[in-house]
Structures are given as structure tokens and as C-alpha cells.
Amino acid sequence: MSIKRSRLSGLGPICCTNTKDKSHSRTPTPMLFSNISLLWDIIEMVVKDWKHEVTPLQASIDSASDENERLFHTLHAFSALQPLYFKCLFSYVMFFIAVENAYDRFYEQLNALNRKPFLQVKHAKKPKPTAYITKVRRIRNLSIAHMLSRAASSLDSAAAAMWQPMTLGGKIGQANDLNKMTFGEMKLTLRDSAGNAIDQLADFEVKGIPEMDRLCKAYLDKYDLVCADYLSEIHARLPITVGDEQYFEFKA
């Protein structure tokens, strides 16, 4: 089960004091601890903002007395929610990439410290990004940060910029689930005159904010656990004095 807050919030960096020149350093840098914790909170706020708006609209659909009333509420909600959907979707993507980058830097700094001969603790490797995480990065790069970029294929670049139309699937006679509003469902293949596929649209499909939150949090949870366990293993070796340098765990 994935967590809602980083395990790193209960840990501190490794401090190094040089008794000769009185210099000090902390690894990983303190700002990474605070930034990772803050980014987790922001991601939670994005999801709460979506739930706050979608819940009453979904309730109107679910409580409709007949199909016509249900259709009316569905069409109203589908239209009204689209600006918020993009706000939440793109905000989530950007802050997710930010926290992933922070974990990358945190892990790299632990690796640099762990190369010292007196440490070299065993630790887990950082998690490999899933196909979904790769897709989230693609949305960040091509739908937001570098929209209509020439670095991507013309097909992908154009498709990434086509934020609409969105879709909301559902079966006849059943209430639609607004949490499954889908972005990037379009599937295109470019073919030559003989009908052979020469280019295929990359996957941009996101089936709702809750799905993105669940799959991204699962990845972040694994990364958070790797970093927290890695740091704790180094803490277990401290304090250590090597020559003029003293290494110890920082405790607030």
C-alpha cells in the first residue's frame, strides 16, 4: 500500500565536520529533504482539489431519476470539469517529475558518499520506471514543457498538443464515472501509399486523475523506500572519524 508522506521526513542527513579547517557539509543536502516532503504534500493537494469538485457532480449523475436527467448532468459535468481536469492533470505531471528528479539527486548524493572506503553499505537499486511513468514524462515534455517541439516526430508533437477532444466512456443505462475522464485516447498510425505503417503515435492516454495518482504513487513509494533504507543503512555505521573528518547523523 502506497504512502501519503515521505519516509525521509523522519530522517536527517549525514554531517561531516573537518576538525582541521572547521568546514561542515551535509549529505544529502537539507533542501532535498524539505523539497521532497513539500512535493508530496502538493501532489496530495492536487488530488484533493479534483475530488472536491468532482464529488458533487458525480453525485448528481448517480442520483438522477431517469436516463434523460442522467445524460443532462453528465454532459454538464463533462463540459464544466475540463478546465479543472487539465489544471490537475498537468499540475500533477509537473510536480511528479519534480519529486522524481529530487529522488534522483538524493540517490546520487548517497552513492557519492557511499563510495568512501569506510562505508560502502549494501543498498537496493532505484526502481526502474514503468511504461506508465515513461508516458507521464512524455506528457510533461511534449504536452506541456515543449509543446510542438521539433525534437519529437511530427505525429507525436501534433498529437501531444491536441488536448481535446477528451472522452468519457460508459455503458448505456449506467452512470458515467467522471473520475475516468480520459486524455490522449487518440490512436493514429501514419501509412505510406502502399498501406504500410511508417510512423505510429506514441501513447499519451491517461484514464483519469485517480488512475494517475495510484500508478505514480506506487512508483514514488518504491523510490522513497529505497532512499530511506539506503540512508538508514549509512546512519547505522555512524558516528565515524576518519583522519580529520567526523561523520555523524544530523538530529534536529
pLDDT of residue 127: 97
Longest dimension (CA), the chain: 81
What confidence tens digit (pLDDT) does each residue in 133-155 have?
999 998 888 777 655 555 555 55
pLDDT of residue 204: 74
What confidence tens digit (pLDDT) does each residue in 9-23 have?
989 999 999 999 999
Answer whether residue 57 shows pLDDT above 60: yes
Specify the pTM: 0.87
Q: How high does pLDDT run on average in the chain?
A: 87
